[in-house]
Amino acid sequence: MTPTDRLYDTLKSAGLDFYVSVPCKLLGDLIDRLAEDKSIVYTPVSREEEGLGLACGAHLAGRRPAIVMQNSGFGNSVNAVLSLLNYYKVPVVFVVSHRGSPGEPIEAQRMMGGAIADLLRVTEVACVEVPGQSELEHVLPAIALARREGRSIALLLPFSYWAAQ
Amino acid sequence: MRRYEAIREVMKVVTDQPLVCNIGHPSQELFQLADRPQNFYMLGSMGLASSIAHGLALSQPRKVVVIDGDAAVTMNLGGFATIGHTRPRNLVQIVIDNSANGSTGFQPSFTADRLRINAVGRAAGIDHVEVVTDVAAIAPTVSAALASEEGPHLIVIRTETGMPEGVKVIPLGPIEIKERFMRSIGQ
């Protein structure tokens, strides 16, 4: 199975049924799969903060929302994470390509790439690093725990995850 | 007409629909005029009222109403692009345009100059756009949008700047607001 297939299956197994996305090359195949999936709600959004608004609305209606994005987009999300998701206890799953991780060809991505772990920590978003497919086994229990706590969680997928077939 | 009167008119025709309200004075006025469990009051994340309502509209079949403001929605003009893309038939987006950032001290907003929210909505692909300037036209316009089989609807209500004396901070916390809202829509 490709990295995208395994990730897609894991997200579906977690019961996530509402997805918004902001584009990333690494996540392109996943986004295509989501766009074709008639059993979920999916839409692209203009930027990450807007997407968290939609995710909150989905949660209020009883759905289980996720946002698919680059880690750089977390910088666009911080106010919404704190004053919307955390304040109202809205659990969102962030599916995040970790740009700036080893293998990154674009120098500018290293700036947010180096800050993402600290940003998640200070905003109290749980984090599961997924450097390869074998680490996906930790994802389902982590999502279940975060949901029980009313807490959001980020799956950080570095270049190494996407390199291994 | 001020925003307070506009919200009062809107709430004459809103019945059991879920409603998301912009942060600050609009939520405070709505609470005083017509508090109900189906009101989701925003306490933070300025700009995201229409996006929260958009997520609700995509997730369930009921009509969803949002009371947004011109300065707040200007923070999230990209949200129009997404609404124009998904075109949820059950979304009624009301933007009360008082040409000011009221909650922060009534600084003029961009609609005091040349920005026209209705034109942005139309350019984003929202077909049903109304501009209301007469207080008597608010209830019939909102009522027609709620009864409409088509959508999304964008209703821009132009008002004067300012608010009445004595409007208080909402005495509800975020979890209380969320839980009673979710219960009210069967979650």
Band of residue B103 on the pLDDT scale cut at 50, 70, 90? confident
Spatial CA neighbour of B122 closest among B155, B149, B159, B89: B155
Kindly report the pTM of this predicted structure.
Answer: 0.97
* The pairing of beta strand B19-21 with beta strand A126-129: unpaired
> pLDDT, tens digit, for every residue of B59-92?
999 999 999 999 999 999 999 999 999 999 999 9
Residue in A50, A60, A82 nearest the CB of B56: A60
Q: In this complex, which of B50, B56, B82 lies closest to A61 when CB atoms are compared?
A: B56
Domain residue spans in chain B? Answer: 3-184
Q: Which segments in chain A show pLDDT lower than 50?
A: none
Task: Determine the pLDDT at residue A165.
Answer: 56
- Cβ distance A87 to B85 less than 8 Å, yes or no, reads no
Look at residue B65 in the predicted model and tell me its pLDDT. 98
With CB atoms and an 8 Å threshold, state whether B45 touches A46.
Answer: no
The pLDDT, as a whole number, for residue A22 is 98
Size of interface A-B (CB pairs under 8 A): 116
Inter-chain touch B59–A63, beta carbons under 8 Å: yes
Give the closest of A63, A84, A87 to B48, CB-based: A84
Q: Do A54 and B58 touch (CB under 8 A)?
A: yes
pLDDT at B154: 98
* Spatial distance between the Cα atoms of B4 and B164, rounded to a whole number of angstroms: 7
**Hey, what CATH topology would domain A3-163 get?**
Rossmann fold (3.40.50)
Nearest to B76 among A50, A57, A88 (CB): A50
> Under a CB-based contact definition with an 8 Å cutoff, are residues A24 and A95 in contact?
no
What is the rounded distance in angstroms from the CA atom of residue B61 to the CA atom of residue B56?
Answer: 9
What digits encode the pLDDT tens for the residues B151-178? Answer: 999 999 999 998 899 999 999 999 999 9
Q: Choose from A19, A21, A88, A123 for mutation: most chain B CBs within 10 A.
A: A88
Match domain B3-184 to its CATH number in 3.40.50.1000, 3.30.1330.60, 3.30.450.20, 3.40.50.970.
Answer: 3.40.50.970
